[in-house]
Amino acid sequence: MEEIVLGIGITALAGALATVAGAAEDTESDIGSQGDPNSQVQLAPQMGYIHRIFNKAISGEPPAYGAWCVIGAGVAWALMQINYNPALAIILGAVIAVFVQGIYCTSGYLGRTASLAKFQQPVYIDIIKSLTPVTMAHSFVAIFCTVAMCYLMATALHHPFALPLLGLVWGIALGAAGSATGNPFYGKERQYQNQKFGAGVPISASGNIVRYAEAGQRSSLDNGWFTTKFAGPASGICFGLIVFLELWRTVLFEKMMSGWGAIIMGIVLILIFTFIDRWIEVWGRKTYGPYGTTEEASS
Amino acid sequence: MTVKMEASEGGMPHNTLMIYGIVVAVVGTYLTYLNVVTGIAVFSFFGGIAAIAALWWGSDTIKHLCSYGLGTGVPSAGMVAFGSGAIAMIAGTKFGLASPIVTLILAAILGAVIGYIANSIINMNIPVMVTSLMEMAVVGAMTMLGFAAMCTGTFMFSGLVVGGMTLSMEPSAGAAGGAQTFLVTVLPEFAGSLIGGAALAVIFFLGAMALQHPFNACLGPNESQDRTLMLAIEVGFLSMFVVAVMSYAFLDLVSATVGVAISLIGWFYSYKQYIALSKRDAYDWLDAKPIREVGGDQ
């Protein structure tokens, strides 16, 4: 019984860490402009729209965050092998991972922008100076929380995987959660505020992203101001729920039916969420959407 | 998928690059064997140099493969290289002193099979697919082998899976005369090793990111070979730095510090060079200047 109570406590703590990690990850990727919305940022100069948005061409968020978290977890693991204090080891691991992340950010921006010289897009060096530290700070929070969560799983819950492998798996999950949940707020909404709400992005508007702000010219920090309020919490809830429910079903139902209890519970959870998603979609269409009323509205 | 586009012309021919890459990668990996010959582990950093050479060549291979209209497929190309390379590398390390050569041959065979399946069975129909995937698998395998040799000081299988030894003491049954005796056995410990502790996953991702990043970051109409290759060296040294920090768990203090120092010096130099090359290629280099409108509807 005490074991289960401890397990539930660890589950709650890991869920809380994951929520913070998810929010920080999505804010970081929106300020740095990573993932699928970045394709529009790259397209803009080719369509004649010179902009001052960060262009973090690394890879999709899941592999990138898999890499940062596995670096953090791997360095932390190596330092714990030579008897460093776990808290210090995790902090040092996250610091080194953030260093690598920052260097990748700057080289991604410089490389892509320099390769767009044909379209007269200049390199704005102040963007690197002002935005890279912001993305690194958010990234540090995300990596530290994820590695700390993995450490809790490995030591307190006795997960059979080694710490670096847990970091890899949960880092990819973190990137996927942020990419799937948070990016629509940035890519579909914030970049295209000049288009009709809910209209999608017509081909003719490709690359015509919003480049001017309330005052002056929009930088990626203005995007961060928007996505911190909407996309970050949504991603945080998404990743927090994933971690919490995953650990919850394992801690409570693992002993039932020699392990099958947790698997059955997982399938039940998937079915419940499929039902909720479908219900929200239908409700949203009926309440807000122009769908189904007229055909010509979607020209 | 067969429209070729936007790979820069000129520069060093790809085959020359490949030969340099293979030679430095194999020789560098073998130089880590000086650890065994001399008995001190300071020669481990040669593994990192070998891995950087492989990455340098691999980023040019990715450029050739991905110039066939695979813009968003660049990161996946890095992953497939290391996925196939990991199998070859782990199998190859079983062959003792011949490990680097066997790894290279196994990876080439594996890459050829994967390339054949992708090209002829899935019908991707890219002319350079088979040779490119062969090269990529070799790059992935040699990078992992090089970094693993740098991290642990050896490229042999036993050194990668055994982290240390623990003594197991059991009371010996039937001891004569009632004296308390123990049966002491030496048990190898796997959890603290490179593969058992999953530190190889770190090397996998460090290499895969470093392999795909140079061309992914530099692609575009004004991509130039020297800038892309300089970025490959830069991210290679950056990955080597992380591996050097991790090697504190396996090597002595001096050897690991030598690795950290060499990787930091190399990274700093190549990063400076890369920024200079970006400045050369960029349309303009502005600090806190407004947008200059060239078109659009604003």
Q: Retrieve residue B213's tokens.
A: 């990043």
Tell if the CB–CB gap between A126 and B288 is shorter than 8 Å.
yes
A298 located within any domain: no
The rounded distance, in Å, linking the Cα atoms of B97 and A152 is 40
Q: How far is CA B184 from the centre of its chain?
A: 41
pLDDT in tens, A88-139: 999 999 999 999 999 999 999 999 999 999 999 999 999 999 999 999 999 9
Q: Is the pLDDT of residue A20 over 80?
A: yes
Instruction: Looking at the structure, tell me whether residues A198 and A50 fall in a common domain.
Output: yes
* Helix, strand and coil percent figures for chain A, each rounded to 5: 75, 0, 25
Give the pLDDT mean for A163-168: 94
B183 located within any domain: no
B122 located within any domain: yes
Instruction: Looking at the structure, tell me whether residues A46 and A96 fall in a common domain.
Output: yes
Its domain, for residue A264, covers 258-292
A205 located within any domain: yes
The rounded distance, in Å, linking the Cα atoms of A82 and A202 is 57
B286 located within any domain: no
Tell if the CB–CB gap between B75 and A63 is shorter than 8 Å.
yes
A31 located within any domain: yes
Instruction: Looking at the structure, tell me whether residues A160 and A22 fall in a common domain.
Output: yes
A107 located within any domain: yes
Whole-number pLDDT of residue B186: 74
Whole-number pLDDT of residue B178: 53
Whole-number pLDDT of residue A109: 93
Tell if the CB–CB gap between B246 and A78 is shorter than 8 Å.
yes
Q: How far is CA A150 from the centre of its chain?
A: 17
Helix axes B225-246, A86-115, angle to 10 degrees: 180
Give the pLDDT mean for A70-88: 94
Cβ-based contacts under 8 A for chains A and B: 198
Whole-number pLDDT of residue B181: 65
The rounded distance, in Å, linking the Cα atoms of A295 and A283 is 20
Whole-number pLDDT of residue B122: 84
Residue of B291, B293, B294, B298 best to disrupt the A interface, most CBs of A under 10 A: B291
Whole-number pLDDT of residue B135: 93
Q: How far is CA B5 from the centre of its chain?
A: 27
Picking from B72, B213, B222, the nearest residue to A104 by CB comes out as B213
The rounded distance, in Å, linking the Cα atoms of A182 and A30 is 8
Instruction: Looking at the structure, tell me whether residues A70 and A105 fall in a common domain.
Output: yes
The rounded distance, in Å, linking the Cα atoms of A168 and A299 is 44
A297 located within any domain: no
The rounded distance, in Å, linking the Cα atoms of A239 and A228 is 16
Instruction: Looking at the structure, tell me whether residues A145 and A280 fall in a common domain.
Output: no
Tell if the CB–CB gap between A63 and B282 is shorter than 8 Å.
no
Instruction: Looking at the structure, tell me whether residues A262 and A155 fall in a common domain.
Output: no
A299 located within any domain: no
Tell if the CB–CB gap between A114 and B248 is shorter than 8 Å.
no
Q: Retrieve residue B221's tokens.
A: 């109409």
Instruction: Looking at the structure, tell me whether residues A147 and A267 fall in a common domain.
Output: no
Instruction: Looking at the structure, tell me whether residues A219 and A272 fall in a common domain.
Output: no
B37 located within any domain: yes
Q: What sign does the dihedral A96-B76-B85-B267 (CA atoms) show? A: negative
Q: Is the pLDDT of residue A30 over 60?
A: yes
B173 located within any domain: no
Give the Cβ contact number of residue B165 at 10 Å.
10
The rounded distance, in Å, linking the Cα atoms of B200 and B159 is 13
Its domain, for residue B66, covers 16-153+193-280
Tell if the CB–CB gap between B242 and A100 is shorter than 8 Å.
yes
Whole-number pLDDT of residue B71: 58
Tell if the CB–CB gap between B213 and A114 is shorter than 8 Å.
no
How many domains is chain A built from? 2
Give the Cβ contact number of residue B22 at 10 Å.
18
Instruction: Looking at the structure, tell me whether residues A144 and A270 fall in a common domain.
Output: no
Give the pLDDT mean for A27-55: 89
Whole-number pLDDT of residue B193: 85
The rounded distance, in Å, linking the Cα atoms of A133 and A30 is 14
Q: How far is CA A283 from the centre of its chain?
A: 27
Helix axes A220-229, A125-155, angle to 10 degrees: 40
A116 located within any domain: yes
What backbone phi and psi angles, to 5 degrees, belong to B189?
-110, 125
Tell if the CB–CB gap between B213 and A118 is shorter than 8 Å.
no
How many domains is chain B built from? 1
Instruction: Looking at the structure, tell me whether residues A238 and A277 fall in a common domain.
Output: no
Q: Is B264 exposed, middle or buried (0-12, 13-18, 19+ CB in 10 A)?
A: middle
B158 located within any domain: no
Picking from A81, A96, A120, the nearest residue to B294 by CB comes out as A120
Picking from B192, B223, B246, the nearest residue to A74 by CB comes out as B246
B1 located within any domain: no
Picking from A39, A63, A112, the nearest residue to B217 by CB comes out as A112
pLDDT in tens, A217-255: 888 888 888 899 989 999 999 999 999 999 999 888 888
* Helix, strand and coil percent figures for chain B, each rounded to 5: 70, 5, 25
Instruction: Looking at the structure, tell me whether residues A262 and A249 fall in a common domain.
Output: no
Picking from A57, A66, A82, the nearest residue to B248 by CB comes out as A82
Q: Which residues of B touch A77 (CB under 8 A)?
A: 197-199, 249
pLDDT band at A199 (very low <50, low <70, confident <90, very high): low
**Least Cα separation, residue B117 to chain A (angstroms):** 24
pLDDT in tens, B9-32: 567 888 899 999 999 999 999 999
Q: Are strands B182-189 and B285-286 parallel, antiparallel or unpaired?
A: unpaired
The mean pLDDT value of chain A amounts to 89
**Least Cα separation, residue A161 to chain B (angstroms):** 8
**ipTM of the assembly?**
0.90
Instruction: Looking at the structure, tell me whether residues A151 and A278 fall in a common domain.
Output: no
B104 located within any domain: yes
DSSP, collapsed to helix, strand or coil, labels residue A148 as helix
**Placement of tokens 């430095």 in the chain:** B24
Whole-number pLDDT of residue B72: 63
- Tens of pLDDT along chain B (298 residues) come to 334 444 555 678 888 999 999 999 999 999 999 988 888 888 999 999 999 999 999 999 988 887 776 656 788 888 888 999 999 999 999 988 899 999 999 999 999 999 999 888 888 778 888 898 999 999 999 999 999 999 988 888 888 888 766 666 666 655 455 556 667 777 777 778 888 888 999 999 999 999 999 988 988 888 889 999 999 999 999 999 999 999 999 888 999 999 999 999 999 999 999 999 999 999 999 988 888 887 654 4
Give the Cβ contact number of residue B7 at 10 Å.
17
